[in-house]
């Protein structure tokens, strides 16, 4: 008997034309490190009395389908997760394409994602997947990955794939070594680490249905938050926090000409931090920042991906 192994698992993704309806073509094989995407249906303990001390059979509750996917931040495939987070990008350029993803869209695309364990065989198709949150960290070393939190409508299990033969993408990963943090256009020094979290704050539409699934997941007020940890070398960030003025923070990765990713938070507000001296080592300060809609450009953030993909 074959046993499932993560080394043989695969993930295919395609955008849906109709929410909750998997397309028959257009699937792409996606790189991923791990996933918790799945469907669960808890049991409700019977509350009925009069049948003795032994309980009656439990009752099935509503179905919940959601989870996280950890993916590499790379030159090509990461654009599909950015489209899920921000909506359709604006694409310009000839040889190298510049894809600009902007916050503030009222409509987000839904996806069908199939996870495959071919040795069982088990092919789980998750339809109606909408991205709730996208987050990642910047640091000096290690593997650079992002976590995409998804809300799905439902799960369908089959013994054969419904994704056909997915097309493959070139894998060219960014690394922490390729990262740069800028403040108002100038390199921000003494940064030890940074965290970025973009949330769509999806609202599950939990209506009464015979199949127990949700009717949708609508975006509400977006949020962009994070943290930067810096070695305390000057008072520029503290002064900004005291003054209450915003700044633009830019987190970027670049491999070569025609291969880069830049995430810009246009109006970032910093809290006044506690400066602690924990011992003889260097003093560090943490800023749990929040972003808001800027005056120019009139949006909260922009993600720019440059590669050779014609469109997303």
pLDDT digits (tens, 9 = 90+) for 267-288: 999 998 888 887 888 888 899 9
- Higher-pLDDT residue of 237 and 257 is 237
pLDDT at position 1: 57
Residue range 192-213: average pLDDT?
Answer: 92
Return mean pLDDT, the chain. 93
Let me know: does 266 contact 294? Beta carbons within 8 Å. yes
More confident call, 116 vs 273: 116
For 1-19, the pLDDT digits (tens) are: 578 788 889 999 999 999 9
Least confident segment among 127-131, 172-176, 279-283: 279-283
What's the pLDDT at 232? 83
- What average pLDDT does this structure show over 211-217? 89
Please give the pLDDT value at position 275. Answer: 83
pLDDT for 124 beyond 60: yes
Could you tell me whether strands 223-231 and 216-219 are parallel, antiparallel, or unpaired per DSSP bridges? unpaired
pLDDT digits (tens, 9 = 90+) for 28-40: 999 999 999 999 9
Predicted local confidence at residue 132, as pLDDT: 98
8 A C-beta contact, residue 35 and residue 68: yes
Q: What is the pTM of this model?
A: 0.93
Strands 64-72, 216-219: pairing kind? unpaired
**What's the mean pLDDT in 82-93?**
96
Per domain, the residue ranges of the chain are 8-39+62-161+171-307
What pLDDT, on the 0 to 100 scale, is given for residue 159? 95
Q: Looking at residue 186, what is its pLDDT?
A: 93
pLDDT exceeds 90 at position 94: no
| pLDDT of amino acid 198 | 98
């Amino acid at each position: 008997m074959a046993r499932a192994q993560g080394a043989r698992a695969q993930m295919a993704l395609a955008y849906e034309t109709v929410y909750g309806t998997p397309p028959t073509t257009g699937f792409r094989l996606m790189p991923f490190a791990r996933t918790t995407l799945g469907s669960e249906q808890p049991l409700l303990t019977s509350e009925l009395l009069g049948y003795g001390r032994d309980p009656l059979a439990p009752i099935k509750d509503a179905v919940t389908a959601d989870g996280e996917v950890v993916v590499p931040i790379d030159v090509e495939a990461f654009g599909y997760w950015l489209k899920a987070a921000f909506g359709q990008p604006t694409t310009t350029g000839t040889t190298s394409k510049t894809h600009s993803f902007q916050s503030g869209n009222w409509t987000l695309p839904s996806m069908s994602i199939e996870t495959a364990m071919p040795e069982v065989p088990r092919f789980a198709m998750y339809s109606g997947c909408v991205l709730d949150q996208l987050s990642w960290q910047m640091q000096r070393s290690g593997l650079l990955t992002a976590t995409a939190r998804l809300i799905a409508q439902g799960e369908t299990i089959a013994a054969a794939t419904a994704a056909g033969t997915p097309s493959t993408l070139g894998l060219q990963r960014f690394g922490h070594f390729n990262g740069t943090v800028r403040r108002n256009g100038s390199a921000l020094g003494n940064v030890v680490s940074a965290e970025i979290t973009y949330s769509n704050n999806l609202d599950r539409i939990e209506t009464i249905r015979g199949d127990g699934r949700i009717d949708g997941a609508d975006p509400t007020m977006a949020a962009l938050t994070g943290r930067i940890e810096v070695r305390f070398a000057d008072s520029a960030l503290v002064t900004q926090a005291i003054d209450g003025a915003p700044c633009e923070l830019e987190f970027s990765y670049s491999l070569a000409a025609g291969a880069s990713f830049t995430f810009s938070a246009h109006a970032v507000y910093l809290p006044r931090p506690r400066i602690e001296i924990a011992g003889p080592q260097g003093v560090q300060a943490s800023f749990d920042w929040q972003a808001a809609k800027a005056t120019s450009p009139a949006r909260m953030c922009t993600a720019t991906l440059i590669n050779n993909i014609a469109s997303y």
